Amino acid sequence: MTKKKIVVLTGAGMSAESGLKTFRDADGLWEGHDVMEVASPQGFARNPELVLEFYNQRRRQLLEVSPNQGHLALAELEAQFDVSIVTQNIDNLHEQAGSTHVVHLHGELFKVRSTRDENHILEWKKDLVLGDTDPYGHQLRPHIVWFGEMVPLLQTAAQITQQADILIIVGTSMQVYPAASLIHYVDTRTPIYFIDPRPNVRESDFGNLTVIPKTAVAGVPPLVEQLFNTFS
């Protein structure tokens, strides 16, 4: 019997309860910096040391945190379902929890790449500084999709989302494009579960939408249990 396909879209709220700052403040600043200073090619060209240190701080923080109950519950789904996770998060907490098919739309914090050859990608858990180069002497940069850059895995994510028998959205406003467009790739009859403590969608917005106004830790484990019971 073919396993049902569950696609999960996750955003910053997925990892917030692990202690990872979403690092965008209410005023739009990231740790006191304008986003274009620390997350754009132009910002990197102007002040590479600032950008590298910004992501060094994120990387150090990620080394100190663990997956939360929401991450762990999503990983458990693989026991009974064909599960793909498409995340806007650059942390690896889904993988740490045991999820085996994770697509990182916005890149990965524990990877760096050459500024000249975007396909030269390295695993990287220490600080990245000026002078860290690829074999040809080109500076390495965070393997992150910055503002203004293409999202290379968007088409892959769209193809995965199209296959969903069940769609779960956790901890994302679904207002950041292009990721927000993914919800439109599912069949109109596909059940959608939207888990967010401050949901900005209504159940009337989509035909099969269930809104769960809870955090990832409070909302994901009960939903996973419900799905196991429904399809066991």
Handedness of CA 127, 133, 134, 140 (dihedral sign): positive
| List 71, 94, 104, 106, catalytic entry | 106
Query: What sections of the chain are H helices per DSSP?
Result: 12-16, 35-38, 41-46, 48-62, 69-76, 93-97, 154-162, 216-231
DSSP conformational letter for 177? T
Q: Is 106 a known active-site residue?
A: yes
Secondary structure percentages of the chain, helix, strand, coil, to 5: 35, 20, 45
Judged on CB neighbours under 10 Å (0-12, 13-18, 19+), 26 is: exposed
Reduced to 3 states, what is the DSSP secondary structure of residue 54?
Answer: helix
What span, in angstroms and rounded, lies between the C-alpha atoms of 45 and 212?
A: 42
**Catalytic residue set:** 106
